[in-house]
Amino acid sequence: MTTEYNLANLNTYLKKVISSVSGIKNKEKVISRIVSLLDEASQIVDLSLSDLLDGLDFQPNNYQVEKFEAFLAELRSIFWLSHFGFTEIAPLPKKKKSKNPDFKAKINNKNVVVEVFCLTKKHQQKRDSRLGVFINSYEKLEKSFAANIQKVKKGQISSIDSEVKLLICVVNSDPISRLNTKEDFISILTKVHLSLDLDKSYSLGVLTGLMNFLQES
């Protein structure tokens, strides 16, 4: 049984949770943008707003910023998947007794299961105490990716029979996003794939730029 959600539920939630998010200049504009993006995502996955929110594990009474970031990570992943040519994208509601991956989809006529994990702003690196600037650490980032991917792999992904298993890391940390290029992330994910000895069915992706995503006009 799914829960019925509507714009009133959504707007009430967004107003409360966004008030706790730092770095957002025009909160009303951001709320409007999220609602608009949910409408676009509904069309991509061919679901009503209520069913989409249920599939994204929307929790209107949970105002933790990290939970909000995880919700946005899954929403953004719909656009990421669509951009890269995935079709039949379907968010899977969470079940109490059996854990689903976040999405199922298809690409090149192959069945795909997708799991999204999020490096939230809360856990971003701190400024160097002496220099007062952010210092990049490929080693720490690689370890963080590897730990999260290993956790997901041991969970709902490993037991599923699918031709492609895609793990998307959503990076919300501004310093990590700014200090690393596309080539840096590709290099790090390649090393992680090798270090974890993932088989050919596993693919890794990365998605950055939370604040730009929220505040684009």
DSSP 170-215: EE--HHHHHH--HHHHHHHHHHHHHHTT--TTEEEEEEE-HHHHHH
pLDDT-based confidence at 74, cuts 50/70/90?
A: very high
**8-state DSSP, 64:** -
> Over the stretch 162-207, which tens digit does the pLDDT of each residue have?
899 999 988 877 667 677 778 888 888 899 899 888 888 899 998 8
Q: Is residue 178 situated within a structural domain?
A: yes
In the chain, the number of structural domains is 1
Average pLDDT of the residues in 156-160? 72
Q: Residue 94 is part of which domain span? A: 7-215
Q: Is residue 208 situated within a structural domain?
A: yes
> Over the stretch 40-51, which tens digit does the pLDDT of each residue have?
999 999 999 999
Q: Is residue 1 situated within a structural domain?
A: no
Q: Is residue 135 situated within a structural domain?
A: yes
pLDDT of 3 reads: 65
The mean predicted confidence, pLDDT, of the chain is: 82
pLDDT greater at residue 110 or residue 101: 110
pTM, full prediction = 0.84
